[in-house]
């Protein structure tokens, strides 16, 4: 059976939403009469007025739910009653009323459940074209390395050398990426002064150079000296040689 307080709340709720209905019709006729609006315009503005006025009046004069507050205040009183125990309990094991009355724990499960469900429903990102291209490139590189391992390895052979540069002038070997001033001086000592000499090196001769340049083993292969020299010997340029020509490197 409804109490006096509940009946009071229902009455004021009806009053609040009745005010919203009145606001709806007032705004509806104002829009249509004063501003020349169409019927849909009046309905839209009237609906907004109904929700605003009804909601505001409900907050102001509607029923107030005081049950949770009463329950919260009642909890410490219930928890403060000493429980009968067959054996004495040490002070460290005794729970305080504040700890037993905290309302935080029951809220954790409703909040965590939607978050976990949303995380489980999130689809994994599909692989992009860029990822597929990288995988394909890695597969091709692995196949190339396997083929290189299966190929017979030629014995290192010293490339043909010169006692001095032709016409007394050596090419600027520093225009080759990977050849700095120190390496250029070392190549001169070994008898290599020109791009066409380096461009003619065979795999066996490259292997010899890689093992005989002090402090820079493997540099000729890693930086592709032969490929760069083939471009430079014909008067062409590379990105690195252009930087050298502009004075940006040495």
Residues contacting residue 151 through CB under 8 Å, at least 6 positions apart: none
Q: What is the pTM of this model?
A: 0.41
pLDDT at 44 over 60: yes
* More confident: 121 or 53: 53
**Residue 227's closest CA among 243, 241, 213?**
241
- Residues 226/227/229/230 CA torsion (nearest 10 deg): 110
Residues contacting residue 159 through CB under 8 Å, at least 6 positions apart: 192, 197, 200, 201, 202, 205, 208, 209
- 33/38 Cα distance (integer angstroms): 10
Say which residue the tokens 């016409």 belong to.
167
Tens digit of each residue's pLDDT (9 = 90 or more) over 178-221: 999 999 999 999 999 999 999 999 999 999 999 888 788 889 99
Tens digit of each residue's pLDDT (9 = 90 or more) over 48-95: 777 777 677 777 776 655 544 444 444 444 444 555 555 555 554 444
pLDDT computed for residue 129 by the predictor: 54
Summary mean pLDDT of the chain? 73
Band the pLDDT of 140: cuts 50, 70, 90.
confident
Band the pLDDT of 22: cuts 50, 70, 90.
confident
Band the pLDDT of 155: cuts 50, 70, 90.
confident
- 15/7 Cα distance (integer angstroms): 12
């Amino acid at each position: 059976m409804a109490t006096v307080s509940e009946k009071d709340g229902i009455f004021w709720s009806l009053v609040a939403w009745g005010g919203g209905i009145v606001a709806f019709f007032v705004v509806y006729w104002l829009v249509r009469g004063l501003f020349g609006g169409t019927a849909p315009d009046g309905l839209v503005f009237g609906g907004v007025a109904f929700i605003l006025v009804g909601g505001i009046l409900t907050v102001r004069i509607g029923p107030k739910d005081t049950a949770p507050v009463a329950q919260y205040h009642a909890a410490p009183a219930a928890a403060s009653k000493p429980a009968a125990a067959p054996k004495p309990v040490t002070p460290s094991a005794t729970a305080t009323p504040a700890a037993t009355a905290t309302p935080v724990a029951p809220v954790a499960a409703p909040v965590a459940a939607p978050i976990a469900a949303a995380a489980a429903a999130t689809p994994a990102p599909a692989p992009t074209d860029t990822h597929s291209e990288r995988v394909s490139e890695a597969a091709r590189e692995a196949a190339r390395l396997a083929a290189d391992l299966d190929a017979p390895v030629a014995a290192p052979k010293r490339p043909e050398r010169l006692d001095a540069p032709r016409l007394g002038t050596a090419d600027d070997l520093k225009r080759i990426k990977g050849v700095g001033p120190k390496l250029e001086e070392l190549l001169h000592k070994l008898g290599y002064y020109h791009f066409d000499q380096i461009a003619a090196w065979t795999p066996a001769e490259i292997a010899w150079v890689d093992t005989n340049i002090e402090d820079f083993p493997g540099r000729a292969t890693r930086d592709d000296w032969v490929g760069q020299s083939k471009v430079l010997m014909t008067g062409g340029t590379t990105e690195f040689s252009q930087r050298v020509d502009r004075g940006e490197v040495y």
